Structures are given as structure tokens and as C-alpha cells.
Amino acid sequence: MKKLYAADFNRLFKAWEEEGYEIYGPRRAEYGGDFFFNPVKSFEECEFNGFVNTLKPPKDFFFPQEATTLKLENGKVETVEESGKKVIFGIRPCDLEGLLILDKFYLENITDPFYRARRENTLLVAFACFNPLPTCFCKEAGAGPVAKRGFDLQVYDLGEVFLVEAGSEKGELYVREFPDAGDDLLEKLEEEKRKTLQKFTPRPWMEKHLHNFHVGKDSKIWRELGKYCFRCGGCNYLCPTCSCFNTFDLNYGHHVEQRREWDSCLLEGYHRMAGSNPKPDQATRMHFRFECKLSHEINKPYGRISCTGCGRCIQTCIGDAHMESLMLLMDKEGGEG
């Protein structure tokens, strides 16, 4: 564990820029006040005051909301791949854990070349989260508030000083010349971790049901949740682990582009096939979504459930058809529905 001060991060920024990395850090939007990852040139340009997480998950760097994948012009097909080097400075543990799930989805068995090109050229600097929002439940989901894996560097903000942990050989190279943290700082860090766990909103229903999903498709729980869903797709779009997309072609006259865009399993058109729709109502679509997130059989390849407790679905859902609502209904119905 290394000890750094705020000014020391600019040395890292300079080293990354010299190696051709573009650095993205948290910045508050001018309108609305939400945080997003934007290009930054220095540590001072990052806005950590009030920052808990970005509105849009950083999966957008690797699996963009919309992107051109192929281009056909003059009879020639060109693959469009983005491979610029990036540093994501400030990724939270819940989003990092979500990214590891996407890694397995897009890089194992059948590899997605577009995702791989972006992933291999990105440096991940995680920031442990010591001030969770009331909607955060990463503790119950086993994805935070401290990252356990997947980062190149992890930063612990202790006020006037920062502790930095290397999680990869690449990360180790960047911080090896900084001094080691003393026992006093390590003890302070452990105390900060203990205090953070007490800041989470108590959610006994999450602890009881999140990792114990067994609600059948015919349960009345799905009809209840379906009544409150506005079919906006926001929970899917802002979820750090949702990986579904739609592909279509655009004809510009002089050339054709193949486009890829995020899709939502809560939209009717997602399930529609020629002649029928196997998920004809919102209740069946609700079951499909949450089974995908919580079923141990479906999530066996990932080694964990596909919910990281970031709380974005709670924040964005205008109808209360989110993960916590499901857990509360399971608790009310004894988990059987």
C-alpha cells in the first residue's frame, strides 16, 4: 500500500498522457447535477466533492450506448473498431464488479472484438466508496464498498492523504516509487472501512433474498411489479451488467452502416418474433429481467449474481418496479410469491 498526496496524482496523469492515454474522471454536469466521466488533464479537474457515482455506468466505454460496427462503401466492408488508450479514474467498486461480469459475457467462449479492443486498452483506477447513497446496497450484493479484484489501482481517500493499492503488474509500475503507508495510516484505513459499513441503509430483506432467488414465473409478484413499470428501459440502460443490444443497418445512399444500440428486455419489441411474442405482458417480462439478474443457474458462469447493488435502478425507476421492490415483495410473500 502506497501513500500519495493530491499533487502526486498529477505525476501519474503526466505519465499516462506521455504513454498516449486519454484520462476520464468524474465531473458534475452543468444542468441536473449528475456526475459523468469526462476527459480531464489534471487531478484538480476531477470533481470528487459530492461524487458517489456517475449516472451512466462506465460500461459505456467498452459497450457504447450506440456505435457503428461495420461500414459498407463502394463494395468494400470495413470493420469500425475503437482502440484508443483510456484511463478511467474514479470507477467505483460496484461498477468494476459489473465490468468483470461483462468481461465473461463478451470475452469468454465467443469473443466480441469491439469490446475486447476497448477493454485491452483501458487502465482502471478504482476509488473505494466511503460515503454510500441511501439507494446503495453494494454491501448486500457483495460488490463493495471496497473493490476486491479487477483494478489496476485502487485509491482510498483518507482526507489529506490517499492510500493507493496496486491490483495488477501494470498498476504496480506506476506507484512503485511512492513511499509505503505506515501502520498508522493502515489502521486509519481499517477504521474507515468499519465506519463505512455502518453508513448503509439497513436492508434486511436484501440480505435475506438477494442471493436466494426462487420466485416462479407464475408468481403474483410479477403481476404486481408489472403494474408499476412504465416501460422506459431506464433500469436496463443504467445497469452496469446489462449487456443486451439491437443491431440494424442504416442506408445513407452512398454508404451503409451497421449500428449497435443498447436494448431493454422490459420493452415489448425486445421479445417479439415473427408471428408471436413469448413475453406478451409486463409480468412475464419482469420475471425474465429479474431471473436474468438473480438466478444462480443463469449466473453460474459469472460466479456471482448479476446485480452489484449500485442502486441506479432504484434512483431511475419512476414506478417503483426496481430491485428493492422485488425484495420487499419476496419478503412479504415469504419468497414464494
pLDDT at 147: 97
> What confidence tens digit (pLDDT) does each residue in 157-203 have?
999 899 999 999 999 999 999 999 999 999 999 999 999 999 999 99
Return the SS3 of 223.
helix
Strand order in the sheet with 66-73: 76-79, 66-73, 256-262, 245-251
pLDDT at 274: 86
CA distances for 320 relative to 224, 231, 268, angstroms: 11, 12, 19
pTM over 0.85: yes
Q: Are residues 115 and 224 in the same domain?
A: no
pLDDT at 49: 93
- Residue 256 placed within a domain: no
CA angle, corner 25, sides to 24 and 29, nearest 5?
Answer: 110
Bridge-partner residues for 37, per DSSP? 26
Q: Are residues 181 and 300 in the same domain?
A: no
Q: Are residues 136 and 236 in the same domain?
A: no
Q: Are residues 197 and 53 in the same domain?
A: yes
Q: Are residues 196 and 217 in the same domain?
A: no
The DSSP code for 254 is: S
Give every residue of the chain whose pLDDT is below 70, as ranges: 335-337
The grid coordinates of residue 197 equal 459499513
Q: Are residues 242 and 158 in the same domain?
A: no
Q: Are residues 184 and 287 in the same domain?
A: no
The DSSP code for 21 is: P
CB-based contacts of 99, cutoff 8 Å, min separation 6? 58, 59, 62, 91, 124, 150, 240
pLDDT at 337: 41
Q: Are residues 69 and 179 in the same domain?
A: yes
Ramachandran area for residue 197 (φ above 0: left; ψ -120 to 50: alpha; else beta): alpha
CA angle, corner 156, sides to 23 and 147, nearest 5?
Answer: 80
d(C-alpha 139, C-alpha 200), whole Å: 8
Q: Are residues 176 and 81 in the same domain?
A: yes
Number of structural domains found in the chain = 2
Nearest Cα neighbor of 140 from 307, 325, 295, 293 is: 307
Q: List the domain range (segments joined by +) for residue 240.
A: 205-246+263-332
Q: Are residues 141 and 236 in the same domain?
A: no
- Residue 14 placed within a domain: yes
Q: Are residues 218 and 175 in the same domain?
A: no
Q: What DSSP string runs through 118-185?
A: HHHTEEEEEE--SS--TT--HHHHT--SS--SS-SEEEEE-SS-EEEEE-SHHHHHHHTTSPBPPHHH
CB-CB neighbours of 81 under 10 Å: 12
pLDDT at 224: 95
